[in-house]
Chains A and B, each alone.
Chain A
């Protein structure tokens, strides 16, 4: 059987319905009535899937939830010796298989960054590993770029299939879906009927057209050195990002930002140790126990975000940029800070622009 199937627009819901019997299926849906934003939620029967624009917040939470329980604990007093207490720990968690349907190439690329940190280093993160292993991505060829997109500037592109398990190409009034690996191949029989030769050829043409597009005018892949050269140029950072209000939007909507906090949240004798998203934009992120904060100013925190993605990360992980060019941090920024501009001008001052 061919690995390429065709799903008509009208059959999409029925297909997702079938898939959702096998696993959790996360799909992009609108935030609410009359709202523009999109987020990924588990599919249920009333879900209206929206594939015509990028989600406001990336689907990273499927693999890396905003809050994850690492372990549960409970103190028990020793009846015979009240000065002693025992701790019961439970650290097992059940993770179900999941499919993210309708992610974009940039969303999937975000996990390349995560994998380096959580899987490929000296230590493996078991929580991440478990979910990563069990999550599949059916990724949509992306032909809906807007003015904030810049995936080609960071070495990817709108037709980048790397890291996806299934690949979706919109064709006429439906989608040609193809498996890219064995994990994806297993789902093909549940998904639909074989595509016709005509549909496959058409999908191929669309794939080629979209892949040929370059999204983003700059090349931002070789900025590591420029960043370190510019690091102490306080005027540059003040000029560029004085307007930053230091909220966590850019880091929370970002597919590659992986910083987290670990806290014990307890009440009386029991509680949980949880891991939750943190943000280097927050003052408390670098606040030390002594009260000293190495990054007290907002622009210093923004500088760190740029440095991490375009300099420290590639220095540590053989040149890899930890930015996927999705543009979410630009689009959702309350003050419209443009990270492309900040990185591009590292090399030469803005005054040279004109």
Chain B
């Protein structure tokens, strides 16, 4: 079977003259990191890679960096999406920030991406890594000296442990075969249920402890593909002043609630907010809880059907859910 990285490069090369830019991943600063890549010349396509380190959701660039709704000519934007990333793309189409025709989408069925921090906890001395690959239920890490094997449950990102959509929802070209999800719909919110077993005071204590670490760097917001207010987030406006510059628990709590509420029924659970947090705060849980409520009340999940109208963008006088 051909290496997926090679297939990926080849597929983009076939259509490159119709593309303005290709968004993919290339090797990062060390062998355990990948970094987003903006390819503008065909000769650079060989930089692209696909492996379980390609964690970034590239859809975050569409509205905030590329302004993808405005096209200079009829050239398209090429983009690589994992299952979760593709939901963000669909949600942006549903919300009319972008149009499907603007994109050449290469979809990659994904078995999960690696949380390097979890990996470091298990094997802090890991270096000179030459290859990282998923084989069955294990992550295989080849170094110059030996091959390590880690159970996926221990080294994948939290988002991947509860992933129901490993396969891209929309694509023009699919790399590899679709994957059977490891998680059934009934287990989708297993991570929230754990927190909900706590009593209310304990739950508050849990969130106070977690959110107190927040340094208000806004990485969770900026990495979020669906945070589309660009430079006008109310967390930073001075007029009116919703939040002060103080960095106490109240402000942090407020900020995260604002972020979550603005994503209610919109979040596509790509988990980028949590992955990028330098303080390792499980902020995706808050958004998932809201998603669960939206699912229960309105039977809706964001980013699944490009044709479907998001419930919070419409009004139904006969609404039965609420």
A interface list, Cβ under 8 A from B: 31-32, 34-37, 39, 52-53, 56-57, 66-67, 146-148, 238-239, 242-243, 245-249, 252-253, 261, 263, 265, 274, 276, 279, 282-284, 298, 330, 332, 334-338, 340-341
Contact = CB atoms under 8 A, between A and B. Distances in A.
Given A39-B279, A248-B218, A284-B231, 17 more contacts: A31-B280, A32-B210, A35-B280, A37-B117, A39-B213, A52-B124, A57-B215, A238-B38, A239-B38, A248-B215, A248-B217, A252-B215, A274-B246, A334-B223, A334-B275, A336-B33, A338-B35
B236 A282 contact: yes
Q: Tell me what chain B mostly uses at the interface: helix, strand, loop, or mixed.
A: loop
Contact of B65 (A253, A261, A298): A298
A336 B35 contact: yes
Contact of B127 (A37, A147, A243, A248): A147
Given A52-B124, A53-B124, A249-B217, A338 B209 contact: no
B301 to A, nearest CB: 25
A53 B36 CA distance: 27
B278 A253 contact: yes
A66 to B, nearest CB: 5
Given A274-B245, A276-B246, A335-B36, A148 B29 contact: yes
Contacts of A341: 29
A252 B217 contact: yes
A30 to B, nearest CB: 10
B88 interface: no
Contacts of B121: 34, 36
Contact of B278 (A32, A56, A265): A56
B113 interface: no
A283 B280 contact: no
Looking at B34, B56, B61, B280, the one whose CB has the most chain A CB atoms below 10 A away is: B280
Contact of B35 (A66, A246, A337): A337
B219 A247 contact: yes
Contacts of A337: 35
A37 B60 contact: no
Interface of B: 28-38, 56, 60-61, 64-65, 117-118, 120-121, 124, 127, 209-210, 213, 215-219, 221-223, 231, 236, 244-248, 272, 275-276, 278-280
A330 B278 CA distance: 11
A247 B222 contact: yes
Contact of B280 (A32, A238, A243, A274): A32
A248 B219 contact: yes
B231 to A, nearest CB: 4
A39 B38 CA distance: 34
A283 B210 CA distance: 27
Given A36-B117, A148-B30, A282-B236, A31 B215 contact: no
A202 B213 CA distance: 39
